[in-house]
Structure 1
């Protein structure tokens, strides 16, 4: 049996792990690379195996860095089955359609504005290519064995993180391989704690926050202070946010603050077709999160939910103070860019960063103090107040990741640390060795191991 790391190694994006066993090829996740240009360019490259020779894709959850390359995989010949939970299927559909639409729009803007380095800018994939993924989905239930082959089975167990997210236990060749996916927090605002694996010969563990502990601060109080301070200056608060889970978490906290009369009576806007769609998935998947139906209904009444871009333009040019939640969370694309074009150069504006920002993304540049950012080929001075709320991450921190390993009844032969930049992964490696004595490996992109 062989495992090859063709994404999500040394980086937090592009998650793809290939397993080969007795002529069967299984791809765990099929994510899009984001961030610095050398990573983004990998999206245009070929896999080390022909997609037509891959039999199954096992999808841990519906974030772009785990599912966003599926249209390319299918376009290049994959005809197998894609296994995931029902909420992951719904979220992935939203994510892929949104991603395709954004890429079409970016290519169109680049061609009109003539700021592409290519003669003709083309999207990585379009909406029609994204739709060709959908017939291949097969929905699974958690904690039930899924036979992939007479000698291979998989079990999906809840990972917290976002709605529908799972870790995957893969049983083959008398071995158990456990893929963590993205591990949620033990004390998340909306999601239940992740289920810990009990048996594993090999573990593939994410390490996004392998070197950090989430601050013991009150994110709700921080939101209250930042919004009120911005309102007092007559400014607009912009919150770039992942449309799935993060947007709903912020909505929940703002709704609580509004109910407590702690924030002003101004427009609160969700400007993301995907974010609106994801909220609908919350309505239909109540067992996956802590919110009650009546909470979802009450929350939805507080927000102006924008899907039509004409309404986006109207909101942008509305001079009243307001709070806008818009994708994308790392400021790599989406409608948040349209708001930033108008507001990033105004000192009364506040931009609140609320999630992990990968290397090379605009979000990372903003929190590192960039004096200007480039949007659609044009540079804009950063005069807005850039703030960060670290306590809202949907990823478990170092303590949570160590705790996730605590229920193992046997000592794994190896723990592969993936989905993390090198320093966080290495610090987590040291901590795991200190706590449990497990042998940890930090694989390189493209590296292959025999198990």
Structure 2
């Protein structure tokens, strides 16, 4: 068996791991690179093998950094099946269509503004190309074995994190290889705790927060403080948010605060069409989350849902203090950019960062204290207050990741630490070796392993 780390190593994006066994090729995730320009440029590079020679894609979940390269894969000749859970299929469809629309729009703006280095800016893929992915999806149920080949089976188990997210257990050549996907938190606001593996010969474990512990402070307390301070100064709160799961978590916490009369009666706005579509998925997939339907209904009534872009414009030019939740979570695109163009230069504005910010993204630059930010080819001074609520991340922290390994009946032969920048991955490596004595490896991009 040969495993090649094509993406998602040394970085938190672009997840792609190729498994080759007895003439069968399986790609675990097919994600898009985000953040640094050097990483984004990898999205335009071909895979080291022909997509037409890949038999199956197994998706851990529907986030862009795990499924966002599928349109390129299909466009370049992939004809196989894409296995995932039902919620992941629905989430991936939303993510891919939204990504394609944003890329088409960004290309249009770049061409009209003539700020692209290319003579004609082109999207990474179009909406039409994204739609060609959908016939390849095959839905599987968690905890049920899927036979991929005569001697290859896969089992998907709950990973928490977002709706439909799973860890993948691959059984082949009399061995068990476990791919964690993104591991959720043991005490997430909406998601159930991840299922721990019992047996594994080899483990590919994410390490996004391998060097960090989430603060013990209640995120509701932080939200209450930031909102009330901003409203008292006459400002607007902008929360760049991942449309999938994080937006709904924030909605839930804000609803709870409002029910407790701890935050003011001002407009609360969801301005992410994909986030609005996700609300229906929460209704249709109740077994995947903790939220009761009556709570969900009451929560939704509190918010104004902006679907049409004219509603966005009207909200932007409304000077009344307000709370706006808008995609994207890493401030890489989407409607949040339109709000920042208007509000980032106002000192009474507060921008609340609530999720992981990839290296090189606008969100990371804001957290690192950037004094100006480039949006649509123009620089804007950052005068708004930028704060972070770390305890709202959908990723497990170092403690959660180490605990996820605690039910293994025997020591795995090796643990490969992926989906993390080098420093967090290496610190997690040290912690795992200290606690369990497992041999840990931090792979390099493109590195191959014979197992």
Name the TM-score, length of structure 2 as normaliser. Answer: 1.00
The whole-number CA distance in structure 2 between the counterparts of 1:74 and 1:373 is: 35
- 1:304-336 Cα deviation digits (max 9, x unpaired): 111111111111111111100011100011100
Q: Aligned residue for 1:386?
A: 386
Q: In structure 2, how many angstroms separate the alpha carbons of the residues matched to 1:299 and 1:373?
A: 34
Alpha-carbon separation, structure 2, partners of 1:116 and 1:315? 29
Residue of structure 2 equivalent to 1:262? 262
What CA distance in whole angstroms lies between the structure 1 residues aligned with 2:398 and 2:190? Answer: 20
Deviations 1:183-229 (A, max 9, x none): 00001111000000000000000000000110111100100110111
| Residue deviations 1:11-52 (CA, integer Å, cap 9, x gap) | 000000000001100000000000000000000000000000
Q: Give the Cα separation in 1 of the matches to 2:84 and 2:306.
A: 29
Work out the CA distance in 2 between the residues paired with 1:307 and 1:32. 26
* Counterpart-to-counterpart distance in 2, 1:93 and 1:442: 32
* Residue 414 (str. 1) matches residue 437 (str. 2): no
Paired with 1:106 and 1:43, the residues of 2 have a C-alpha distance of 16
User: Where does residue 276 of structure 2 map in the other structure?
Assistant: 276
Secondary structure at the residue paired with 2:176?
A: strand
1:106-156 deviations in whole A, cap 9, x for unaligned? Answer: 000000111111000000001000000001100000100000011100000
The 5 Å alignment of 1:339-378 reads 339-378=339-378
Matches for 1:40-55 after TM superposition, within 5 Å: 40-55=40-55
Q: Partners in 1 of 2:374 and 2:311 — Cα distance?
A: 24
Counterpart of 1:319 in structure 2 is 319
| Residue number in structure 2 paired with 1:18 | 18
Unaligned runs of 5+ in 2: none
Aligned to 2:72: 72
Superposition map of 1:216-295 within 5 A: 216-295=216-295
- Partner residue of 2:447? 447
Partner of 1:83: 83
2:177 maps to which residue? 177
Aligned to 2:121: 121
Distance 1:257 1:215 in 2: 20
| Structure 2 counterpart SS, 1:324 | strand
Alignment partner of 1:213: what SS? coil
Could you say what the CA RMSD is over the residues aligned between the two structures, in angstroms?
0.5
CA distance in 2, matches of 1:346, 1:150: 62
Moved over 4 A (4+): none
1:26-37 correspondence to structure 2 within 5 Å: 26-37=26-37
Q: What residue ranges of structure 1 are gaps of 5+ in the alignment?
A: none
Tell me which residue corresponds to 2:199: 199
Matched residues in 2 for 1:192 and 1:93: separation? 23
Deviation of 1:340 (Å)? 0.1
Aligned-partner Cα distance in 2 for 1:165–1:211? 23
Question: What TM-score comes out, normalization by structure 1 length?
Answer: 1.00
Paired residue for 1:298?
Answer: 298
For 2:63, the equivalent position in structure 1 comes to 63
Which shows bigger deviation, 8-17 or 305-314? 305-314
Aligned residues: 451
Q: Distance in 2 between matches of 1:179 and 1:95?
A: 22
Q: CA deviation at 1:263?
A: 0.7
